[in-house]
């Protein structure tokens, strides 16, 4: 396992992180404990959750695990506030997350989405207060555009506030918007990029077919919103070209998609979701397999 610095902080995180979105929603607490035990044993140290994950259920499971296993000091703990990013809401959300997680301080507290209704100044000032109060060590954002992050960095600089040290974007073979503006910005400003959904929420596993019904029980069936993100002509074209390439070189689509995401330059860590310890091992196999420069270039051009 490789460990990389989180932006300009003193934290180092594993190149593979564990996204805890499945906890209490798709898997029960006992299964989640086994997944987390195995992830930590394999060297994963970055654990990411959010108040929005099953209405705090994921945080509760993660908090119970840390208390039971006494693992708080072994991991980098991240969570997120969802919506209505007023000063009062941001602070109360962090306090509620800390209670569910049964800890006094987060390593990273992030805003889950951009908020058009609340001034960014108010949100950032609240986040800075949390840092000053010792309720989070660092702050970050998720699902921001490059101009959102750039504005946040400028406001933090002129006001002397804690700056955002990380950004968490959706990034995979068919969702590569961040390459145009976000990655140049994060590289220039030394901001950590901790990407999620390397398999496109299952789109890149090959289980979906254009024009066919969505298989029952799959992520796109349980959360239909994923279809709005991935079911577009160009993404179908890339996915089918990817399917053909995987078959040609006798590799699974999952192996290739994970290896591509984990090995992409300028990415600090890649979050994987897991419903079983097999999914954790799957990511490690992909990291070890890696991609040749030639194959990576071919996949980049699909």
Output the six-digit token pair for 138.
């660092």
Cα–Cα distance for residue pair 197/2, rounded to 1 Å? 20
Q: Give me the catalytic one of 53, 196, 208, 230.
A: 53
Which of 194, 198, 197 minimizes the C-alpha distance to 269? 194
Give the residue from 203, 273, 201, 189 showing the smallest Cα distance to 16. Answer: 273
On whether the CB atoms of residues 190 and 6 are closer than 8 A, the answer is no
**3-state SS string for the chain:** CCEEECCCCCCEEECEEEECCCECCCECHHHHHHHHHHHHHCCCCEEECCCCHHHHHHHHHHHHHHHHHCCHHHCEEEEEECCCCCHHHHHHHHHHHHHHHCCCCEEEEEECCCCCCCCHHHHHHHHHHHHHCCCEEEEEEECCCHHHHHHHHHHHHHHCCCCEEEEECECECCECHHHCCHHHHHHHHCCEEEEECCCHHHHHHCCCCCCCCCCCCCHHHHCCHHHHHHCCHHHHHHHHHHHHHHHHCCCCHHHHHHHHHHCCCCCCEEEEECCCHHHHHHHHHHHHHCCCHHHHHHHHCC
Task: Based on the residue annotation, tell me whether 53 is a catalytic residue of this protein.
Answer: yes
**Residue positions annotated with a catalytic role:** 53
């Amino acid at each position: 396992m490789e460990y990389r610095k989180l932006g300009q902080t003193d934290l180092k995180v594993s190149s593979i992180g564990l996204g805890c979105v499945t906890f209490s929603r798709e898997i029960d607490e006992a299964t989640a404990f086994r997944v987390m035990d195995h992830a930590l044993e394999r060297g994963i140290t970055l654990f990411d959750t959010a108040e929005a994950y099953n209405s705090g259920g994921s945080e509760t499971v993660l908090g119970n695990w840390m208390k039971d296993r006494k693992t708080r000091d072994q991991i980098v703990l991240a969570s997120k506030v969802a919506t209505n990013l007023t000063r009062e809401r941001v602070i109360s959300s962090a306090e509620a997350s800390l209670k569910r997680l049964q800890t006094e301080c987060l390593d990273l507290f992030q805003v889950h989405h951009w908020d058009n209704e609340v001034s960014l100044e108010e949100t950032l000032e609240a986040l800075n207060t949390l840092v000053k109060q010792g309720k989070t060590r660092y702050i970050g954002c998720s699902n921001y555009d490059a101009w959102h992050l750039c504005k946040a960095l400028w406001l933090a600089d002129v006001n002397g506030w804690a700056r955002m040290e990380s950004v968490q974007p959706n990034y995979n073979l068919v969702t590569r918007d961040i390459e145009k503006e976000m990655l140049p910005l994060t590289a220039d400003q030394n901001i950590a990029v901790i990407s999620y959904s390397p398999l496109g929420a299952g789109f890149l596993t090959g289980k979906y077919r254009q024009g066919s019904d969505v298989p029952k029980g799959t992520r796109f069936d349980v959360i239909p919103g994923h279809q709005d993100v991935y079911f577009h002509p160009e993404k179908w074209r890339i996915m089918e070209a990817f399917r053909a390439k995987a078959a040609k070189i006798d590799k699974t689509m999952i192996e290739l998609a994970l290896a591509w995401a984990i090995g992409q330059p300028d990415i600090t860590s890649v979050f994987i979701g897991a419903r079983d310890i097999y999914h954790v091992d799957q990511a490690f196999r992909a990291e070890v397999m890696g991609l040749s420069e030639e194959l990576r270039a071919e996949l980049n051009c699909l």
